[in-house]
Chains A and B, each alone.
Chain A
Amino acid sequence: GESVGLHLPTLSVQEGDNSIINCAYSNSASDYFIWYKQESGKGPQFIIDIRSNMDKRQGQRVTVLLNKTVKHLSLQIAATQPGDSAVYFCAENITPTIDGQNFVFGPGTRLSVLP
C-alpha cells in the first residue's frame, strides 16, 4: 500500500480556542476532499467535504479551506471543545475521472483539547 507517513502530528489547544489542522494532498487532479474525525475505538466520521471548484466551505463550527495552487487543505474548528479531541484525517479522491471511490488518506493529526 501507499506510504502515508510514520509519525502522527499532535496539536494541543485550549478549550474555547480555535484549532487549525493542516493537510497536504498529493494529486493535483483530485477533485473531491473530505475531512474525517476518528475517536478512539471508532471508525472515521465524516465532518465536512469540499469540491475542487470551491476554495472554502463552512459547516457547524468547522470550515475547510482548499488551496489548489499548493495542494493544501485546512480544517478550522471554532471554539474547540473537549469532545473535539480525536485524530483528524483529510482524504482526497485520486481517481476523479472514473466512477467509484479511491480515497487516499493523510497521516492524520491528533487534536488534544486542554481544559
Chain B
Amino acid sequence: KAGVTQTPRYLIKTRGQQVTLSCSPISGHRSVSWYQQTPGQGLQFLFEYFSETQRNKGNFPGRFSGRQFSNSRSEMNVSTLELGDSALYLCASSQEGVSTGELFFGEGSRLTVL
C-alpha cells in the first residue's frame, strides 16, 4: 500500500507569490490534515478535510486555504507569500477521521520564500 504522497518536495517562491501544494492520502483514507513545521514554532495544525469538507481549522490567516477532492486528494494554497511562510508543510491522512485516529504523514513539501 503506497504511503502519503506530497508534491512538490521542494520549491522556492518569492514574496507576494502564491503556491499550491498537493497531497495524495493512503488509499481508503478519507481524512486529510495539513501541518506547518518550522524550527521556531514546531508542528502547527492548519486544517483538516473529511469527505471534501473542512472539518477543523487551526489559527492561521485566511491566506492559507485548502480543499479536498472526491478521491480524497487534497491541495493547500498559500497566497501572498511572506518570508515567514518558509516551512515544511506536512500532510497526514487517517482512515476515518475520528478523533482517535492514527495520522500517517507524508515526507512534506519544503517551501522557501525569498
Are A34 and B103 in touch, CB under 8 angstroms? yes
Instruction: Give the number of residues in A that approach B within 8 Å (Cβ atoms).
Output: 35
Q: Which of A98-115 contact B (CB under 8 A)?
A: 98-108
Choose among B55, B56, B59, B90 the residue that contacts A1 (Cβ–Cβ < 8 A).
Answer: B59
Query: Roughly how many angstroms separate A1 CA and B60 CA in the complex, as a whole number?
Result: 6
CB-defined contacts of B45 to chain A, threshold 8 Å: 1, 101-104
Are B42 and A45 in touch, CB under 8 angstroms? no
Q: Who on chain B is nearest to A97 by CB? A: B99
Q: Which of A9-64 contact B (CB under 8 A)?
A: 31-32, 34, 36, 41-46, 49, 51
Are B48 and A102 in touch, CB under 8 angstroms? yes
CB-defined contacts of A69 to chain B, threshold 8 Å: none
Which of A36, A44, A91 counts the most chain B CB atoms within 10 A?
A44
Which of B33, B60, B100, B105 counts the most chain A CB atoms within 10 A?
B100
Choose among B33, B40, B90, B99 the residue that contacts A6 (Cβ–Cβ < 8 A).
Answer: B40
Question: B98 within 8 Å of A by Cβ?
Answer: yes
CB-defined contacts of B50 to chain A, threshold 8 Å: 99-100
Question: B65 within 8 Å of A by Cβ?
Answer: no
Q: How far is the CB of A7 from chain B (nearest CB, A)?
A: 10
Query: Roughly how many angstroms separate A61 CA and B106 CA in the complex, as a whole number?
Result: 25
Q: Who on chain B is nearest to A42 by CB? A: B107
| Chain B interface residues (CB < 8 Å from chain A) | 4, 31, 33, 35-36, 39-45, 48, 50, 55-56, 58-60, 90, 92, 94, 97-108
Choose among B33, B44, B107 the residue that contacts A2 (Cβ–Cβ < 8 A).
Answer: B44
Are A100 and B56 in touch, CB under 8 angstroms? yes
CB-defined contacts of B103 to chain A, threshold 8 Å: 34, 44, 46, 101, 103
Choose among A34, A51, A98, A101 the residue that contacts B33 (Cβ–Cβ < 8 A).
Answer: A101
Are A44 and B43 in touch, CB under 8 angstroms? yes
A-B contact pairs, 29 of them (CB 8 A): A2-B44, A2-B59, A4-B43, A4-B44, A34-B102, A36-B105, A41-B107, A43-B106, A43-B108, A51-B100, A89-B42, A95-B56, A95-B99, A99-B55, A99-B98, A100-B48, A100-B50, A100-B56, A100-B99, A101-B33, A101-B48, A101-B97, A102-B45, A102-B48, A102-B58, A103-B33, A104-B45, A105-B35, A105-B42
